[in-house]
Amino acid sequence: MRLLTLRLTISLVVGITLISLFSSYYEVRSQRRGLRRDLERRVEVLAENLVDQIEPHLNLNQGSGKNLQLMIDRFSSREHLAGIAIYNPQGESIATTAGLASRFTGEPAVVQQAATKSQSAGEYSRMGEASVYIYALPLHEDKAVVGRLAIVHDASYINAQSRKVWRDTFLRVLILVFLLTLTTLLIVRWSITGPIARTAQWMRALRTSKISSRPAMPDLDLFRPLAHEMTTFAASLTAARSAAEKEAQLRHAGDTFWTAERLFVHVRGMLGTSRLFVVANREPYIHRRQGTSVEAIVPASGLVTALEPVLCACDGTWIAHGTGDADRETVDKHDRLRVPPDDPRYTLRRVWVSKEEEEGYYYGFANEGLWPLCHIAHTRPLFRVSDWEHYERANRRFADAVLKETEGMDRPVLLAQDYHFALLPRMIKKARPDTRVAIFWHIPWPNPEAFGICPWQRELVDGLLGADLIGFHIQSHCNNFLQTVDRTLESRIDWEHLTVNREEHRTVVKPFPISVEFPENPLPAEAGKSTSMERVAWLRDLGIEADFLGVGVDRVDYTKGILERFLAIERLLEKHPIYREKFTFLQIGAPSRTRIKRYNDLLIEVEAEAERINGRFQTGKWRPILLMKRQHSHHEIQWFYRAADLCLVTSLHDGMNLVAKEFVAARQDEQGVLVLSRFTGAARELPDALLVNPYDIEQMAEAIRLALKMDSEERKTRMQRMRKVVREHNIYRWAGDLIAELCEVRLDEPANRLESQMGHPPVEQSAEAIRID
């Protein structure tokens, strides 16, 4: 650091000195010129004046020397005038002012020159020690040159002035150098040495401390961007270190817990040289314009919550619909970018769909048709031919993108996601039979009668059966699907092993209950206390005082039972007034698919219902329902989960519902009660929640009351059991199981091709006979 300061100071000193010298040199030069011009002009004026007076008395032959002497003596006292001399045509002095005679030995050359050329001439020269300016001009009588006049002017003051400028410059440089050295030292100390020391100290603390007690970033001035990178770096290091420790512990304890690292090792082993591809309509990062900047938004989607950790663990490629208004400008020429933006771990490949196509495929067929068709939530599905055509086209477009991404790759592994892509598995399989294709259906599959409403059920089922593996959340969805296949298409179903054989291709149908990440690190002891203090302050800021807080986190969707849950809160307050001014329910509602009328109406209805119930019960310092109608980040939601006494998940029908699992995963304090709809997939795995029928308002109100008065021991026991389930069946295990099952598929020798080669008739056979792999 000292060397840096020294170098900096020397460079500054040399720089400043050179600049000062150059500028002083030019200043002196121009000042000198100015002074000389000024002097010459003054001498000329004096000379002209003198000539006018001298010439009439210039009768050199008549001895007018005395007069001339008197005349020039009158001028001799002028400032800086060294003397005046008059010469006759032969160059002999006629009159000379005192002092000059002794210093002039002969007629100076410039005077002779003036006479020869018959015009004035001037020159700077030295007279002893002094510098002088000699100006000479011829004297005339009747146009004939009869003598010459020489004026000698002292020019030493010009040199004195120049010397003064140089002296001032020297002093100025000296002062500047001193000030600059001082300033440099101070700047280095304040802005570089200080922050570097603080950065180093902070980095050391980052490296050595636990995540929970990680110090906040101090004020680091210039080093803020560097520090930001370091935080991410430290987080990755800590995560890697704790993952390695965890792995070692797990191996030692023979634990079945799945981590990102375990998934990575598992998937790498399974994939070999191949790679993992995911197709999902929803992209994990949407780039939107915010004024002049662009920000990356994580959409409200259970699918995104679940798949992001998997992609991060395996460095796969996520192929999705680019919906943000700044999406195009953030991709490369292949429409790809690395994400997450802060810590890139996998590739996002965007696919562009026109507005019209999006209207038909996404809003129309997927969300007005298939979504209500698969959820028994009493909203009528709408099927339009034009939507179906767009759906087919969009499936083709995404399939093309997959084929492009997997070009030249040996046996790629594809996980297609959800009801947006029922046709895609067959398309891929046709073009690239060596691709292992799985599709995971994130929503329920209804019974065959309900699914039969769809005019294109055959095409959808056939498209899905192009996959090697079809995953649902729970067994009953698998059964519904197999029954639908049975009623719709020519095929053979092996009910024991849950496979469908159709046209020389076998599809395995299996439940894979999706899940979330499970944070392993225990919360520091003080975290619970600070959460409850923050909760009081947060409510106070909203003008609310309440002893109990409930939370609900949903996209505003008619399948989620938000209105029913509000009615249950109203009923609770009617039946048990003791909870008035005590219990507040926070509903985080992320607006969703609002271009569909049903969703837009619902948003208005939810707001109106919250207002109605609040209007009925609210007091000056309390409100029963707090509706926060915007999307919240994962991080914000974690805080709400931890701050709440209970969480309400009251879906009328739901494939899994990850909010229930997220709530459980967030409760490291082993407190909090989950009230959970029986009609969610999650209810099968979490029987320790208070299970409710969301259509039964009385029962839900009672469940809320039970949750509020449940003693801490009971809460703890239930939460511990639920946490064990979610911990053991986390998202990494889901992905691990799904990929393992898919990789076991034998691509080269399908069971029924072998059968047909052997000439067996296509009859129902026992599972053992059918399975050859």
Residue ranges in contact with ligand G6P by CB under 6 A = 282, 301-303, 418, 442-443, 555, 592-593
End-to-end CA distance of the chain: 68
**Residue 671 burial by CB count (10 A; 0-12/13-18/19+): exposed, middle or buried?**
middle
The dihedral built from the CA positions of residue 327, 331, 337 and 343, taken in this order, carries a sign that is: negative
Provide the minimum distance between the beta carbon of 681 and ligand G6P in the complex, in angstroms, as a whole number. Answer: 11
How does strand 436-440 pair with strand 469-472? parallel
Which is closer to ligand G6P, CB of 262 or CB of 282?
A: 282
Output helix, strand, coil percentages for the chain, rounded to the nearest 5.
55, 15, 30
| Beta bridge mates, 552 | 587
Provide the minimum distance between the beta carbon of 192 and ligand G6P in the complex, in angstroms, as a whole number. Answer: 48
Which is closer to ligand G6P, CB of 43 or CB of 658?
A: 658
Provide the minimum distance between the beta carbon of 270 and ligand G6P in the complex, in angstroms, as a whole number. Answer: 25
- Give dist(CA 609, CA 209) in Å, integer: 48
User: Is the omega angle on the peptide bond into residue 455 within 30 degrees of 0, that is, cis?
Assistant: no
**Residue 62 burial by CB count (10 A; 0-12/13-18/19+): exposed, middle or buried?**
exposed
Provide the minimum distance between the beta carbon of 660 and ligand G6P in the complex, in angstroms, as a whole number. Answer: 13
* Among the listed residues 100, 102, 157, 162, the one whose alpha carbon sits nearest the alpha carbon of residue 134: 100
Provide the minimum distance between the beta carbon of 417 and ligand G6P in the complex, in angstroms, as a whole number. Answer: 6
Which is closer to ligand G6P, CB of 349 or CB of 535?
A: 349
* Among the listed residues 593, 654, 266, 730, the one whose alpha carbon sits nearest the alpha carbon of residue 441: 654
**Residue 381 burial by CB count (10 A; 0-12/13-18/19+): exposed, middle or buried?**
middle
Provide the minimum distance between the beta carbon of 307 and ligand G6P in the complex, in angstroms, as a whole number. Answer: 10
Which is closer to ligand G6P, CB of 432 or CB of 442?
A: 442
* Among the listed residues 436, 479, 485, the one whose alpha carbon sits nearest the alpha carbon of residue 459: 485
- Give dist(CA 263, CA 173) in Å, integer: 68
Provide the minimum distance between the beta carbon of 256 and ligand G6P in the complex, in angstroms, as a whole number. Answer: 27
Which is closer to ligand G6P, CB of 303 or CB of 572?
A: 303
**By the 8 A CB rule, do 266 and 732 touch?**
no
Which is closer to ligand G6P, CB of 416 or CB of 568?
A: 416
Provide the minimum distance between the beta carbon of 185 and ligand G6P in the complex, in angstroms, as a whole number. Answer: 58
Which is closer to ligand G6P, CB of 137 or CB of 366?
A: 366
Which is closer to ligand G6P, CB of 301 or CB of 501?
A: 301
Which is closer to ligand G6P, CB of 442 or CB of 715?
A: 442
Provide the minimum distance between the beta carbon of 533 and ligand G6P in the complex, in angstroms, as a whole number. Answer: 34
Provide the minimum distance between the beta carbon of 591 and ligand G6P in the complex, in angstroms, as a whole number. Answer: 10
- Give dist(CA 587, CA 517) in Å, integer: 23
Provide the minimum distance between the beta carbon of 325 and ligand G6P in the complex, in angstroms, as a whole number. Answer: 16
Other Cβ atoms within 10 Å of 25 Cβ, number: 13
Which is closer to ligand G6P, CB of 169 or CB of 417?
A: 417
Which residue has the closest beta carbon to ligand G6P? Answer: 442
Which is closer to ligand G6P, CB of 234 or CB of 306?
A: 306
* Among the listed residues 482, 440, 455, 465, the one whose alpha carbon sits nearest the alpha carbon of residue 656: 440
**Residues contacting 363, CB < 8 A, separation 6+:** 593, 595, 596
**Residue 7 burial by CB count (10 A; 0-12/13-18/19+): exposed, middle or buried?**
exposed
